[in-house]
Amino acid sequence: MKYIFLLFLVAFVNGRSWEGLLLQKRSTCSNSDEVGRSFTFGYINDGGKTDENKRKVYDAINEVKSWLMASKDRQAYRYTKDNIVGYVWAGSMVQNSGAANNGFKNLIYELDNWGMPNMFYIEYVNGNPMHGWGAIFDQTGNLERVQEAVKLWSAGQSVKKFANRKTYQSQSLCYLSYSGRKNEGNDGEAACCWTAHMLYTRIPA
């Protein structure tokens, strides 16, 4: 009990969300560099949360994670099944397996506790698409909305359309070296992305 109270006190003093504190150290990186990042979570909710859609989005997240684990060279992934659509962006220096292990925890936490809104997403954006990470899912079948998100991420930009958002601090991404990064190029599943070829050779602190 004392330990839980101390965790809460540390979170309060540092201005961090309780959720972020609980999630921040549960990460693993292998053959890559672990770097702490602040993720932005956002959503649009016009009602209509159901247990069925919650289950479908769990399935979508698990399937996309399996794709990331199986394919180390791709940057964009599209998911479409029934009424659920989604996209994932893993920049060319973001290790796919590390993103699968670490990048979805905040979405799963939100889904566990509050169900599936019309749309939700998680992102890390710093202006350089090579370093960026994002995952978005929509339960209304709005493919245009999720495709716009992955195009923005491919240009190093944040999602612009949301009702509410918050920050999860001290999360982790796993980064490849510049020389070991993935090949960059437009992905047919994401249509024509706006990838900006920036000449960054290191990961900024």
Query: Residue 74 is part of which domain span?
Result: 31-190
Per-residue pLDDT of 69-100, as tens digits, reads 999 999 999 999 999 999 999 999 999 999 99
Single-letter amino acid code for the residue at 12: F
Whether 180 is covered by a domain: the verdict is yes
Whether 197 is covered by a domain: the verdict is no
Tell me which H or E stretch contains 109. Answer: helix 105-114
Single-letter amino acid code for the residue at 130: M
Per-residue pLDDT of 103-157, as tens digits, reads 999 999 999 999 999 999 999 999 999 999 999 999 999 999 999 999 999 999 9
Whether 52 is covered by a domain: the verdict is yes
Q: Which two tokens stand for residue 94?
A: 């973001």
Whether 67 is covered by a domain: the verdict is yes
Neighbour-count burial of 70, counting CB atoms closer than 10 A to its CB (0-12 exposed, 13-18 middle, 19+ buried): exposed
Rounded to whole angstroms, the Cα distance separating 112 from 58 reads 9
Residue 39's Cβ-side half-sphere holds a number of Cα atoms within 13 Å equal to: 29
Whether 23 is covered by a domain: the verdict is no
Single-letter amino acid code for the residue at 80: T
Rounded to whole angstroms, the Cα distance separating 175 from 92 reads 9
Spatial strand order of the sheet with 133-138 comes to 76-81, 84-90, 133-138, 119-124, 33-44, 164-175
175 to 79, 103, 124: CA distances (angstroms): 24, 12, 13
Q: Which two tokens stand for residue 115?
A: 């169900």
Whether 17 is covered by a domain: the verdict is no
For the whole model, what pTM was predicted?
0.81
Whether 195 is covered by a domain: the verdict is no
Structural domains in the chain (count): 1
Whether 43 is covered by a domain: the verdict is yes
Query: Given this model, what pLDDT does residue 188 score?
Result: 58
